[in-house]
Chains A and B, each alone.
Chain A
Amino acid sequence: MTTLKVINIGKQFSRYPVGRYRADGDSNGEKFREDVLRPLLVMRDDVVIEFDDALGYGSSFLEEAFGGLVRSGFKADDLLKRLTLNTADDSLKKEIISYIKEAKQ
């Protein structure tokens, strides 16, 4: 595995990441998890995610994208070590960490 990859959600995925499932539109959490996050986590040791260029996040998006990783087999502790969440908004970081910790495998 190679070391580090930076993904900017607002610039590389969607300005409005909303929706939980694929049926909720083009910018949903399931799509972000399966098409972006999971391949990166399989290929890279560490992934840096930039949040601040998107215009707003829905909790259902965040829960599905990050909590969904735990439900689909990733270990919460491992994810918390490998993911770097870059945002000036601490509430976003706290919310994502809570979804990772609370999700059941």
Chain B
Amino acid sequence: MTQLTGGAVKALITWLLVVLGWMVVSDQQAAREFAKNCYERMQRLREELCEIEDLAIQHHTASFDELRAKKVLRLISQISMEIEHWRKVKCLGIEVIGLVVGLRRAVSIENFDCSSYAVQALDSEIVVNIEIAKNKLDRALMDAAYRAVRERPSLVRSVISSVKRIF
């Protein structure tokens, strides 16, 4: 009887270790996938940000083009929504909200509308402010991309979170 109970306990422990091992491997795999996705999307967002900067500077330094103006605003809105998504999954910090506001503001608070539009020089304050706002947001995206790759969960953390999930 005692031998039977001992065997059952051993089988149970073995089974638990197998499940735990599988969960730890899955956890590490999921974390790797998330980090990879996060890195790739941050790099893609940085490219989209460059496109926004180019279009915004063109808007302020060439003759007024309503379609281009709308395209810039649509791209800023899209990038802003996606940044918000990545912020909610903790890939980006809360400071990016202010950086997105800074970008939209630099691009479209002044000299953006047809009634007050004037072609700007490449070294004008408006253009420089767009470049500064873009650089700040770009830096935050770049930091997030490299943080995602660097800060993978340790094995101990995966074990602890797997144990928590079992019990």
Contact = CB atoms under 8 A, between A and B. Distances in A.
Nearest to B105: A59
Contacts, number: 84
Q: In the complex, which of the residues A23, A28, A89 has the most CB atoms of chain B within 10 Å of its own CB atom?
A: A89
Given A18-B70, A18-B113, A25-B114, A90 B77 contact: no
Nearest to A24: B113
Interface string B105-122: 101111011111000000
Interface in A13-68: 16, 18-21, 23-25, 28, 54-60, 63
A12 interface: no
Per DSSP, chain B at the interface is helix
A21 B112 CA distance: 12
Contact of B84 (A23, A57, A89): A89
16 contacts: A18-B113, A20-B116, A24-B114, A28-B113, A56-B77, A58-B113, A59-B104, A59-B105, A60-B109, A60-B112, A89-B81, A90-B87, A91-B101, A91-B104, A94-B101, A98-B101
